[in-house]
Amino acid sequence: MPAAARLMVPVLAPTGGAGRSTLACLLAAELAAVGETVVLDTAPRLASPWPGWVTAPGGGLAVLPPTEPASAERVRSACAPMGGWDVLTDCREWNAPPLDLPVEPAAWYQLAAIGGWQAAVVDTPHPITHDLLAARCAGTEGRTRGWLALPYAVPVLCAAASADGVQALQQAVMAMSAENVPLHRAVAVFVATGEGRLPSVVRAAATMLSGRMAEVVHLPYDAHLRASGLRTGRVHSRTRQAAARIASAVLAAAHDSWGQPLPPAPQPAVLRPTCPVPV
């Protein structure tokens, strides 16, 4: 990707336990081949696996207070290297006080822009269907729409490859369609929960969704990941093949929407410290 390009890839799911973090890691490893890549871990520390996955943590999000200006060097030093790509997470001990993480997607986009990465994979914690419905009732934008409104955002929707996962993903797609979310550049991923052939309900859902979304991909079951997560880096070859297909689908959706090569991304305003108002 060109140096001034920026591809935003929010990994979203309608429920927890859908494999968002694993998928974000696999995607980052693939996208690192075409540009400098970072994973933005937007989940609270005790709900995130990333602090346990990093082996050489950087300063972490704690060194980026929202009341102080940031620089590329400072943002980069906060990251943990993952062998060809970076992750920005809360690396402190589990019993440290919680950080006041930004909720607005634009704030995370700003960090990616300051750091100068060409691709940012976002590990999101919120359930997208509930977020869309709650935002509509409250008359607000919501986090899901906020992520998709960012420049050059290609969403990846993941769900378990089961009857319950299919139902949850279909409800999410209906909610996104009702909110006029651009499904044509979204990539859907069904994450297998066991060995064997995909259930018929999953295959049928994949066929129905393929006409509405950029691509529908199956991420096969991987015993290595189930046994030790991503701590050891052991991943089956078929898992890497599926990850490469997902990354290719994301890049194809971006190029179909905005051209190839991707045009330069808008640069957000520089972060400024918040000064108290004199009394």
Mean pLDDT within 67-84: 89
Highest mean pLDDT among 42-51, 64-73, 74-83, 243-252: 243-252
Mean pLDDT within 189-217: 92
Q: Point out which residues pair with 14 in neighbouring strands.
A: none
Which one has a higher pLDDT value, 271 or 210?
210
Per-residue pLDDT at 234: 76
pLDDT at 116 over 60: yes
Mean pLDDT within 129-152: 95
Per-residue pLDDT at 269: 53
251: confidence class by pLDDT, cuts 50, 70, 90? very high
